[in-house]
Structure 1
């Protein structure tokens, strides 16, 4: 184990040297306090050295921030009492009651289902017939005067000529005629009691399939020819 030698009395600093070092340290500390710490922390620059070193500006910023923080804290402390002073006793009691009373529970509105769209009624009758080139056919419905029947017909394979008409009790009427028509729909209102319907003829060079659908106030749908 190595032990250091104790210094001799001659090697130790004298009292005068210690006092001189202490005085020098105190002077250096004082200079740093006046030239550095005071300008940087408190914006106090009695020697002007702090402004030359840019420390005074730093201290001014710190002081400004401290002042603003103190002002904000004071404003928060005075805001609550001033707001309370503006309320009258009656208003204060109303506020306390409103705070204590729970808000009423609002029941959620029930979603109403959308109204159902009425489905279109089914067709009462449906007939299909194949017409060769030049062939004609007739369909009639027995109807009372003022009765209404809905219809829809389509010719697959080519258009046809048609005549929508009625006859009975010595009377006759033509509701509508057409040439080269592939499809038609609508209503027939019987002008008198009798037979009301359609005559179709295929003027194409190929066969066509005629499809006729009807519904409404009529007695019977029949093929006349």
Structure 2
């Protein structure tokens, strides 16, 4: 058998020591309650220490989330629907290439009047063109604009003054609208003719 040491009465804590330890524990617990638990859980900060420690903000966030959750209506659970059978694989439709188009536009420019004709084209598309002032002369500016072009954007293909005609091939530098602007600087009306042939989507007189 083992001999067990029995503490003497002098080794046992006195009632005063027990009371002091109990009061100390209660003090620590109260301090933690006021400085940590109340600010973090309920956004209550009577001492101000919780806000310094960032715990009051945590409690305010929890309270806000709880209020929002209480005001949101409960969403009914979706009823189970029939399970759709997997669709049979399909071959993606190929976008047909733009068919070659051909147009002739005739118009009259009054003295000091300007006009613009644009072709809607994809990048790399080519159009053969020929425009003529039919014996007269006009100023011209061949240029292009992408879709949703920023303000003051300019991409030119060529310009000139007092030109009687021009023919060539226009190759689109980007997706958008490409074409010509003409102005009659003479004091007589000018008949203008534009012929186009190639890969473009639409042709439009802008103004």
- TM-score normalised by the chain length of structure 2: 0.48
> Comparing both chains, which one has the higher relative contact order based on Cα–Cα distances under 8 Å and sequence gaps of 6 or more?
2
Higher-helix-fraction structure:
1
TM-score, scaled relative to structure 1: 0.45
